[in-house]
Amino acid sequence: MTGSVVIIGAGPAGLTVGNILRAAGIDCVILEAGSRAFIEQRPRAGVLEECVVRGLERRGLAADLLRHAVRQTTCEFRVEGERLRFDFGELTGQHHWVYPQPRLVTDLVAEYADVRGGEIVFGVADVELTGTDTADPQVSYTDAETGRRRLLRCDFVAGCDGAQGVTRHALPSRAGIARHDYGVGWLALLAEVPPSNDCAVFGLHPSGFAGHMARSATMTRYYLECLPDDDPADWSHRRVWAELQQRLAAQGAAPLAEGRLIEKRVLPMRNFVVRPMAYGRLFLAGDAAHLTAPIAAKGMNLALHDAFALGDALVGRLAGGDESALADYSARCLRRVWDYQEFSGWLSEVFHGPSSGDSHHAGTALSRLRRLFSSPTAAAAFAEQYLGITAGG
């Protein structure tokens, strides 16, 4: 293959890069370890910034989303039995969209493969990159159907294979990885039950943080702070709902509607950032380059911001001979990545303060939170980060 890009990973980042390249008539192939059914069903994120949706719309990738997604302009904190509603829509004129990640992935696969004629090879194994620091990068993999090794030559490699992927390891040892571990876990739950509130709810409680986020009219994601090494098997249906009811209780709030839990897994709250996100002809995007714990619900948003920048830069280079956007890719993305890392740290301090066992931390956490409701300046700053409005990039 020449004049072409090999993309590793068919998550939101890889599929978006692929769609941008195909729209410009550039040859590309996506290598994906999972099956089509696997990637189209994996439940994960569900909150998209308005600016991300506008980015998808500009690239012809938001038709179904705009028909079915739900707009949110408010979030609610519950603390000491009180409900504090934060109207970020009124402050900024912007909103979030609620649209489940599996639906977005399904839309992106259909557009890429069925409409734009892009190729995806599913079930690949043992992906290896060579020559990414030369003008002749090569990607080899084992084909699931034949069991044979295949070799692809290309102009550029896009590493979009998520936090557990392999492309990050092809960076030279001088590339740095900055890590942060919050020292807490979240039990991530998906419940087959309608949302119990009209917006996201963040419960700050001495027993631990709890979160409620709509995913659709029939599905709700819940989180419960737990120990990072907790065993999900120790969280019975009865225990989960008792903790959620207690931690999210507030005056005037109806009890949560309870239902079957179809996902229950412990996520350690930790982040990393790879610097730089590019080396030679290899460009990382999304979780492959930076992991952002779901504290601030930013991972999928960042993956899409990266993908817009990388897709457009590759088109600029391959269709127009312009190197400048590719040269600036890593620095440009990292400005937003660090902004979101900082926001995630800020929120973690607030969410985990009351349960930290440290009365000083608990006091400052509540002070930070209450400032959003007493200071218009603090409120505006929070709303901008929550919506991704001011981040660089």
Residue ranges in contact with ligand RFL by CB under 6 A: 8-14, 31-34, 39, 44-47, 101, 124, 127, 160-162, 164-166, 188, 267, 286-287, 294, 297-301, 303
Instruction: Please confirm whether the linkage preceding 276 is cis (ω < 30° from 0).
Output: yes
Cβ proximity to ligand RFL: between 144 and 319 the closer is 144
- From the CB of 363, what's the least distance to ligand RFL, in Å? 29
Cβ proximity to ligand RFL: between 189 and 320 the closer is 189
- From the CB of 274, what's the least distance to ligand RFL, in Å? 12
Cβ proximity to ligand RFL: between 79 and 189 the closer is 189
Cβ proximity to ligand RFL: between 104 and 377 the closer is 104
- From the CB of 52, what's the least distance to ligand RFL, in Å? 8
Cβ proximity to ligand RFL: between 39 and 350 the closer is 39
Long-range contacts of residues 134-138, Cβ cutoff 8 Å, at least 24 apart: 134/280, 134/281, 135/281, 137/6, 137/280, 137/281, 137/282
Cβ proximity to ligand RFL: between 152 and 366 the closer is 152
Which tokens is 171 given?
Answer: 């960076």
Which tokens is 82 given?
Answer: 């009180």
- From the CB of 98, what's the least distance to ligand RFL, in Å? 9
Strand bridging mode 70-72 / 47-49: unpaired
- From the CB of 78, what's the least distance to ligand RFL, in Å? 19
Phi, psi of 145, rounded to the nearest 5 degrees: -75, -45
Containing 381, the helix (H) or strand (E) segment is helix 376-387
- From the CB of 240, what's the least distance to ligand RFL, in Å? 15
- From the CB of 294, what's the least distance to ligand RFL, in Å? 4
Q: Give the separation between CA 72 and CA 94, rounded to whole angstroms.
A: 9
Burial (CB count <10 Å: 0-12, 13-18, 19+), residue 218 = exposed
Cβ proximity to ligand RFL: between 232 and 249 the closer is 232
Q: Give the separation between CA 340 and CA 201, rounded to whole angstroms.
A: 20
Phi, psi of 230, rounded to the nearest 5 degrees: -60, 150
